[in-house]
Amino acid sequence: MWTRMNEIDRMFSAMNLLRSINSDRSYGEGSGSRVAGGFPKTNMYDNGDSFQVIAEVPGVNKEDLSIKVQGNYLELSGTRQSDAPEGFTIHRVERDQSTFSRSFTLAADVDADKIEAVLKDGLLTLVLPKAESAKPKQVTIN
């Protein structure tokens, strides 16, 4: 009996090791997936006519963000600048200066000329209208 418990403990230890190695991707409820270690954390929605992307970018100025779209490819990148005041000695830094880049393949091409981007309260909200060729068409039967 003791040997079986020892084997179970080793199995759980191995699973924890694998989780720590691959900790940037964990799967959540439903069909979507959740990125635990990626920055910025992003939600993506589809309402039929457009995609909506909401990304958490606290401490990032709009001048330090870059949004690139080509067809169905979206790339978000940016830099969070250091907020250490001039003349102060730093005792602890948990929100350091960093750069990021995330890319996504959307389910359909978007109309790049009609994209709306708003940065408010640390949230970047993008509305990406689908290209006319990607929208469903009603076909009449003769």
Q: Of 53-57, 65-69, 100-104, give the lowest mean pLDDT range.
A: 100-104
Whether pLDDT at 138 is above 50 = yes
- Among 49-58, 78-87, 95-104, 126-135, the range with the most confident prediction by mean pLDDT is 49-58
**Placement of tokens 């720590």 in the chain:** 20
Look at residue 115 and tell me if it is in a domain: yes
Question: HEC states along 66-122?
Answer: EEEEECCEEEEEEEECCCCCCCCCCCCCCCCCEEEEEEEECCCCECHHHCEEEEECC
pLDDT digits (tens, 9 = 90+) for 89-133: 887 877 777 888 999 999 999 999 999 999 999 999 999 999 988
Look at residue 137 and tell me if it is in a domain: no
Cis peptide, bond prior to residue 136, ω within 30 of zero: no
**What is the band of 141 on the pLDDT scale with cuts at 50, 70, 90?**
very high
CATH number reported for the structural domain that contains residue 64 in this entry: 2.60.40.790
Range of the structural domain that residue 113 is part of:
38-83+96-132
Look at residue 50 and tell me if it is in a domain: yes
Look at residue 101 and tell me if it is in a domain: yes
**Placement of tokens 């169905």 in the chain:** 72
Look at residue 18 and tell me if it is in a domain: no
Averaged pLDDT, 62-88: 89
How far is the CA of 55 from the CAs of 8, 87, 117, in angstroms? Answer: 40, 33, 11
Q: Of 12-16, 26-30, 137-141, give the lowest mean pLDDT range.
A: 26-30
The whole-number pLDDT of residue 4 equals 66
Q: How many structural domains does the chain have?
A: 1
Look at residue 5 and tell me if it is in a domain: no
Report the DSSP beta bridge partners of residue 52. 45, 127
Look at residue 16 and tell me if it is in a domain: no
pLDDT digits (tens, 9 = 90+) for 15-49: 777 766 654 444 444 444 444 455 789 999 999 89
Look at residue 48 and tell me if it is in a domain: yes
